[in-house]
Amino acid sequence: MIHAIAFYLFAFMVIASAVLVITSRNPVHSVLWLILAFFNAAGLMVLVGAEFIAMLLVIVYVGAVAVLFLFVVMMLDIDFAELRSGFVKNFPLGIAIAIVLLAELVLGAGAYKAGALKLGTPDGTATPLPGESNIESIGALLYGQYLFLFETAGIILLVAMVGAIALTYRGRKMQRPQNVTKQVRRRPEEAVVNTNPGVGQGIEL
Partner 1 sequence: MDFQASLALIAPEILLSLSGLALLLVAAWVGDKASRLISILSCVALGGAFFLVAPAVCGGALGPDTMAFGGQFTADAFAGLAKLMIYAAAGAALVIAPAFFERFNMMRAEYPILVLFAALGMGIMVSATNLLTLYVGLELNSLAAYVLASFLRTDGRSAEAGLKYFVLGALASGILLFGMSLTYGFTGTTSFDGIRAALSGGMTTGALFGVTFMLAGLAFKISAVPFHMWTPDVYEGAPTPVTAFFASAPKVAAIALSARVALDAFGPQWLAWQQIVVFAAIASIVVGALGAIGQANIKRLLAYSSINNVGFILIGLAAATQAGASAMLVYLAIYVAMTVGSFVAVLMLKDAEGNYVEGIADLAGLSRTQPLLALCLAMMMFSLAGIPPLFGFWGKFVVFQAAVQADLVPLAALGIAASVIGAFYYIKIVKVMYFDEPAGTVTGKSDWAHWALLAISAVAVSPLGYLLTKWLGALADGAAAALFHAA
Q: Of residues 167, 180, 199, 203, which one binds partner 1 by CB under 8 A?
A: 167
**Which of 74, 96, 142, 156 is in the footprint of partner 1 by CB under 8 A?**
156
Each residue of 77-86: b (16+ CB within 10 Å) or e? eeeeeeeeee
User: Is residue 147 close enough to count as binding partner 1 by CB under 8 A?
Assistant: yes
C-alpha distances in Å from residue 68, one per residue of 35, 52, 58, 62, 65: 11, 22, 14, 9, 5
The only residue of 1, 22, 76, 166 in contact with partner 1, by rule CB under 8 A: 166
Interface with partner 1, residue 148, by CB under 8 A: yes
Candidates 55-63, 107-115, 150-158, 187-195: pick the segment binding partner 1 (CB under 8 A): 150-158
Rounded Cα distance between 3 and 6, Å, is 5
Interaction between residue 141 and partner 1 (CB under 8 A): no
Q: Compute the distance between CA of residue 33 and CA of residue 23 in angstroms, rounded to an integer.
A: 10
By the criterion CB under 8 A, which residues form the site for partner 1? Answer: 145-149, 152-153, 155-156, 158-160, 162-163, 165-167
